[in-house]
Amino acid sequence: MSEMIATPANVLLVDDYPDTLEMWALYLRARGYRVSTATDGHEALRIASAERPNVVILDLDLPGMSGYEAAKRLRSGTDTSAIPLIAATGYLSDTQTDAARQAGFASVLIKPCDPPTLVSEIERVLAQGGFPAIGHS
């Protein structure tokens, strides 16, 4: 019998801070993930619709369209509604946690987040199917 080779997960990283995108993308690619990047919510929506990633890591504080709004639009799209979403933010309050939950995020990562923690959270969310635990970091 031949051994099945797992297809690497396709991850969409969305952040307006180039260093974060570069560091996370390099690490994830080295770990075998397929990675796409976007620097704003509008670009994230286009890429998610076209590529249908397995998971989206979405900064909450984006220019033009917040991560919350992008998440709500992803959740309402017929092609993107089931994609697990992980929020990334530099700070987190109870109000933000509630807003992230309402926007459809599976979890929240606090930045700076080291790459191994990012991978652990991606794997956890994918294993759970993307729902519903929130508050992990």
- Domain of 75 in residue numbering reads as 10-127
Band (pLDDT 50/70/90 cuts) for residue 92 is: confident
pLDDT over 60 (residue 136) = no
Q: Is residue 1 included in any domain, yes or no?
A: no
The total domain count for the chain is: 1
Find out whether 106 and 133 touch, Cβ atoms under 8 Å. Answer: yes
Residue by residue, DSSP assigns 24-91 as: HHHHHHHTT-EEEEESSHHHHHHHHHHH--SEEEEESS-SSS-HHHHHHHHHHSTTTTTS-EEEEES-
* Spatial separation of the C-alpha atoms in residues 107 and 105, rounded to whole Å: 6
Q: Is residue 42 included in any domain, yes or no?
A: yes
* Spatial separation of the C-alpha atoms in residues 116 and 54, rounded to whole Å: 18
pLDDT over 70 (residue 26) = yes
Which pLDDT value is given to residue 98? 87
Q: What is the CA 108 to chain-centroid distance, rounded?
A: 9
Report the pLDDT averaged over residues 66-75: 96
The CATH number for 67's domain is 3.40.50.2300
Q: Is residue 4 included in any domain, yes or no?
A: no
- pLDDT tens-digit map of 40-56: 999 999 999 999 999 99
Q: Is residue 86 included in any domain, yes or no?
A: yes
Q: Is residue 109 included in any domain, yes or no?
A: yes
The proportion of the chain whose per-residue pLDDT surpasses 90, expressed as a percent, equals 75
